[in-house]
A and B are shown apart, each in its own frame.
Chain A
């Protein structure tokens, strides 16, 4: 079934650890996005990709990095997690027209 997946759903980790948040979609979408959302607040775009080997930073500055080696996979990495990174991270994808955006279930990250 075509869908967008994120793992892990919840992660509690100590300061200084390296983490990778996984995002995969089986819809064949060219465009993928990472958003950050603090509880009760709006989404902020932190990274996006319009295709393989294409990545761009979003509206909100983030210390995370992303890669797009395969169309279906768009992982986000934090080299050294800090408490300020505690947030929810939402991955999304859309087709080449960009009409409609499908969201993953999100990863809720807590850095202690």
Chain B
């Protein structure tokens, strides 16, 4: 079964700092990759996804992620965070079944 590992449980940073969240998965075959965000009090929303093509994927709200096949990684980045980016971020990997990482709580201090 697919397993998804998110490196950080909780990240705290100041506004304008850069953010990078690590995600690694276990399966070496063809997978689709996702990052979801859950803002406080809201449901999961899709930030970005990778199916094929350019391994650098741009998502909403200034987020991007890079797929590195050789490292089984799909790290999420944002050059300059805002207070409103405070949320929980989930990496997910799908071959036939969707598997989620445990999530990373990001707290941005004003």
A residues with CB within 8 A of B: 33, 35, 37, 39-43, 45, 48, 58, 88, 90, 92, 97-101, 103
Contacts and interface: CB of A to CB of B under 8 A. Distances in A.
Contact of A48 (B43, B97, B98): B43
B96 A45 contact: no
Interface residues of B, number: 20
A3 to B, nearest CB: 16
Which applies to chain B's interface (DSSP): helix, strand, loop or mixed?
A: strand
B40 A41 contact: no
B11 to A, nearest CB: 15
Interface stretch (B17-25, B30-38, B67-75, B76-84): B30-38
Contacts of A45: 43-44
B42 A98 contact: yes
Contact of A43 (B36, B41, B97): B36
B22 to A, nearest CB: 20
A39 B98 CA distance: 8
Contacts of B97: 39, 88
B85 to A, nearest CB: 15
Interface in B51-103: 88, 92, 94-98, 100, 103
Nearest to A45: B43
B34 A97 contact: no
Contacts of B103: 100
Given A98-B38, A99-B88, A43 B96 contact: no
Contact of A40 (B38, B43, B88, B96): B96
Given A37-B98, A40-B96, A41-B94, A99 B40 contact: yes
